Structure 1
């Protein structure tokens, strides 16, 4: 059988003696904070980068490309290293 695990049942499993230590707690806290910040960045920065007032103030050349795209040139509207750095 592919993917199966055979376990011998010799009684209850031995206690491994582990517990919640300070280093385990801090590691979990840092991992959770990283996930929270990543989600916030995707939700906020990603949405802001397509808002017209934001583009008008900080990235006017991208706003110009959007106006040109409405005329038929839709290739690489958001091709900007500065905008990519902001979003990341």
Structure 2
């Protein structure tokens, strides 16, 4: 048990160190937007433009994910009983 925990701590430390020292390099692979979508857009005569809502600034993207998670959690909590409890037949206790 202790060997597994020590190995896990060592692995996390090594990955964290590698990530910290690798930030100065440019990413090797471009995203799908740059490689596929922009290529087809240029082939069809459309140049890329900025988004209507710029989510790359600050924590706006994090805010949207939090808002969506809270909304989904509220909806699931509201319908929890109907989805998981109501309509199930009660099984008699085994004796």
Tell me which interval the TM-score lies in, with the shorter structure as reference length.
0.3 to 0.5
* Higher RCO structure (Cα 8 Å, ≥6 apart): 1
What is the TM-score of this pair, normalised by structure 2? 0.31
TM (norm. structure 1) is 0.33
